[in-house]
Amino acid sequence: MFPVFRLLQTAMAAVSVLAISALQAADPTFAERLGWKAGQVVVILHVDDVGMSRSSNLGATEAVEKGVATSWSVMMPCPWVSDIAHYLKEHPNVDSGLHLTLTSEWRPYRWGPLAGKSQVPGLVDPEGCLWRDVPGVMAKATAAEVEAEIRAQVDRAATLGMPITHLDSHMGTLFARVDYFEAFARVGIEKGIPILAVGGHATYARHENGEATRELRAWIPRIWNAGLPILDDLHTGSYDWKPEEKTAKLIALLGDLKPGVTEILFHASRPTEDFPVITGSSESRRADLMALTSPEVRAAIQSHGIVLTTWKELMARRKLAMPMGEGKIAKP
């Protein structure tokens, strides 16, 4: 995830895309459908951009080991993936997904597609790297090329022996076009890997990312009925919080969450000397780490009775729900 979202509200349907009218307020939350009690607030505290840099890896591991982060996702085309793969061999229980990456946004620090230029020429810019922004991808890449690159990234993780607890999308590219999202959902369903999909009340999702894209709403029942879990909400706004306010804002957010399963995104990093050269968001990412390791945040989670969870647990609960006659979700 990256601040380019502010420029791509219509493209970034990551969440708003996925709120469907079929789920009325009286219907059970997806948390209830997954076996939690009515009224419970269930949260995934998630770290994006793992594998992007040494700083990203240091921050993510610290946020999980010493803080309250419960999940992360890895950018497979990036230079520091092998480092995190070795870490995961020693810590196999970490909730680790793939941050499917179709862009390469930084000016001095870049990467290309794992499928190779000859296989996905529409994903490659004049420098031989992935496009810097989502519009660049949308203008050139076909859905077939996008699917080929998704599969290449999943294959690379499998080759490295990395767990894949879920799939999401760097910079929201996979939610920018209906055919991209269809490729994303198709791979997740085929492989039985949960994908980022919000189908509940979507309180923050709708506010942060605009109105739902009508063409994609039908995918929520298809994803759920295929045996994959669905989120009730997604909060992506922490990137825009001022560094000095992040801990307080997270505490306030935790107190305002509605019942259901909500994922809250961060980019926790422990900046090394070179990290500010890569990104101007170095201090923002450091502040994410400080918030996730704050004793005050941990205390707020306890005081509000918030249940922390992982994508791995969501999938385990979804499997248990299937034979229990929980019922399918109808198309809107």
Q: What is the pLDDT of residue 128?
A: 97
Please give, one letter per residue, the 3-state secondary structure of 213-268.
Answer: CHHHCCHHHHHHHCCCCCECEEECHHHHCCHHHHHHHHHHHHHHCCCEEEEEEECC
Distance CA 217, CA 219 (A): 5
Q: What is the dihedral of CA 225, 231, 233, 238, to 10 degrees?
A: -140
Q: What is the pLDDT of residue 18?
A: 43
Does this model's pTM top 0.85? My answer is: yes
Is residue 89 exposed (0-12), middle (13-18) or buried (19+ Cβ within 10 Å)?
exposed
Distances (CA, A) of 244 to 5, 143, 215, 249, 250: 22, 41, 40, 10, 12
Sorted by sequence, the CB contacts under 8 Å of residue 84 that are 6+ apart come out as: 50, 51, 57, 60, 74, 96, 162
Q: What is the pLDDT of residue 2?
A: 42
Q: pLDDT truncated to tens, each residue of the chain (332 aa)?
A: 444 434 334 443 443 444 343 444 468 999 999 999 999 999 999 999 999 999 999 999 999 999 999 999 999 999 999 999 999 999 999 999 999 999 999 999 999 999 999 999 999 999 999 999 999 999 999 999 999 999 999 999 999 999 999 999 999 999 989 999 999 999 999 999 999 999 999 999 887 665 434 457 789 999 999 999 999 999 999 999 999 999 999 999 999 999 999 999 999 999 999 999 999 999 999 999 999 999 999 999 999 999 999 999 999 999 998 654 455 766 65
- Please identify, in words, the CATH class of the domain defined by 3-324: alpha beta
Bridge partners, residue 263, by sequence: 44, 234
Q: What is the pLDDT of residue 135?
A: 96
Which among 300, 303, 293 is positioned nearest to 68, based on CA atoms? Answer: 293
